[in-house]
Structure 1
Amino acid sequence: MLSVLVPLIMQVGIAPTASPVSAVPPELRDRPVREQVVRKDPAVSTALDTCLATAKSDPEKARALAEEWVSRTTGAQRAAGRHCLGVAAGNGGDWSAAAAAFLAARDDASEPRFRARMSALAGSAFLAEDEADQALSALDAGQADAAGDAALIGAIALDRASALVALGREGEAASALSEARTAIPDDAQAWLLSATLSRRTGDLAAAQSQIQQAATLDPRDPAIGLEAGVIAALGGR
């Protein structure tokens, strides 16, 4: 991901027989966390900028700074400190602590979009820990706060799809991906992931339409080309 979370490897199935259609699509299970989720609030202070920058190069130092910050502040200032604490913990590989910090930051804050971003980051951290049920709970909580922000709505919907697939709730995952496509229609990955899930569930007509749209939006993405080849092979083209 961005500075906040270690990237999860995107895998794209090449062989049509690589796994049964009931298997969890790895593109959804191991989808990279989306960068736009963590756009900074306009009111973020220089202190937070400094803490987040430190979290990139020295997560342990940033974690200590953030813990001290949290101990001496309240409200929105404490929420900012907990945001940095979550970033530092995530960069250090402590996903459980990262999720807890992001949830605490959300609970300290009142600004809806900041709360939505913290819910989204908590969901991402839980997914990194293979805690799909807790991820879904955090992401569901962020939906109302994300109202009016299409990028946040779409990003949360994509992570909800990942969690739902991991929980075996593929029909609901398809609905979440539909919501993502509506919110962020120019996002090629939303269409790619939709095509992947449609293929894995046997809806090749939808998969073909979705992968064509993904290719239109990002014709140079090799993952889209690979998925298009799988769909074509399954369709006998």
Structure 2
Amino acid sequence: MSNVSMILAFLIQVGPNPAANDNLGLPDELLNRPPRESSITAPQNPTTAWLEDCLDQLAEDPARAHSKAQIRLTETSGPDRIIANHCLGLAATELGLWDDARGAFISARDETPVDEPRTKARFGLMAGNAALGGGDQEAALLLLQTAQRNAQEAASATLEALAAMDVARVLVALGRPHDAFVPLSRATLLEPEKAEPWLLTATLYRRLERLDDAQEAIEEAARLAPLEGAIGLEAGLIAVLSGREDAARQSWQSVVDTQPDSPAAQTAQSYLEQLGPPSGPSLAPKP
């Protein structure tokens, strides 16, 4: 592995989706998911030591990390600039400086060697999510589609599926929900044993009132991740809209029982209260 490859393998991880809007009707705990790939340990050297220090500062004082990365950019070249832009983008994300974050991640992507498409894809994902966080949906779509192509070049099914799901979210935000089925289908094909693309598919079908299709998709998601709170919430919504109130109560109560202290449980409890007791009037809870 080249020195550049080793450093990039160490430093890159796909961060949370910073988009402010819940474009597919999903709860925050799913959309703002934690990093999906762990950093790979690399031998310590001045470059990786600087990155570790910057990331430590990021957790304590993102403004200071932001300044530190800006200074580093004026002093370095090559892989060190990529690393500085990486930390700068993360710090800008923490500070809500979406344009700064997007620019830093794009610079990091563009300065990454052409024979590192996997790393380019990861930076592209972060740039696209930063654009979405700043409300620039058209730019986000282009960045995420490019990231998906980079992931294809890298033959990384996981990264391509992540990019495809984010592309689908942006298409929904742009008022193109039917177009979103194409990238979602690609994501389920690439990662058939992952629950998230099936959940997103179910949610989209439900929002388009295609409840039979939504039911099939949510059943597959539940098979893959039976204890995921977001899946229980969505299963209940599909059930109640299909006129199966008892099934909805069962789904939401299971979320409350298995994850009593979670945000999903709080949402499930509010849905149960909106629905009322079994003998009460029928109300479709508002997602």
Q: TM class by shorter-chain length?
A: 0.7 to 0.9
Give the corresponding residue for 2:150: 145
What TM-score comes out, normalization by structure 2 length? 0.70
8 A Cα contact 1:82 1:102, kept in partner: yes
Q: Residues 41 and 114 of structure 1 are in contact (CA less than 8 Å); yes or no, is this contact kept in structure 2?
A: no
Instruction: Say whether the 8 Å CA contact 1:196–1:207 is kept in structure 2.
Output: yes
Seen in structure 2, the aligned counterparts of structure 1 residues 138 and 40 have a Cα distance that, compared at 3 Å, is: farther
Deviations 1:138-165 (A, max 9, x none): 1111122212112211111111111110
Contact 1:38 1:121 in 2 (8 A): no
CA distance in 2, matches of 1:151, 1:36: 13
For structure 1, the 5+ residue unaligned runs are 12-23
| TM score, norm. by length of structure 1 | 0.84
Partners of 1:184 and 1:229 in 2: CA distance: 24
Partner of 2:249: none
Kindly tell me the number of residue pairs found equivalent between the two proteins. Answer: 224
Identify the match of residue 46 of structure 1 among 39, 46, 49: 49
Letter matched to residue 192 of structure 1: L
Is 2:212 aligned against 1:213?
A: no
CA pair 31-99 structure 1, distance change in 2 beyond 3 A: farther
Change (3 A) 1:31 1:133: farther
1:20 maps to which residue?
none
Q: Structure 2 counterpart of 1:229, which letter? A: G
> Does the CA-based 8 Å contact 2:54-2:68 persist in structure 1?
yes
One-letter code aligned to 2:97: D
Q: Which stretches in structure 2 are left out of the alignment for 5+ residues? A: 1-12, 245-287
Matched, 1:228 2:235: yes
User: Structure 1 pair 3/176, CA: closer, same or farther in 2 (3 Å)?
Assistant: closer
1:96-128 CA deviation, whole Å, 9 max, x = no partner? 111111011111111211111110001111111
State the Cα deviation string for residues 178-225 of structure 1 (Å, max 9, x = none). 111122222222211110001111222221111001111221222211
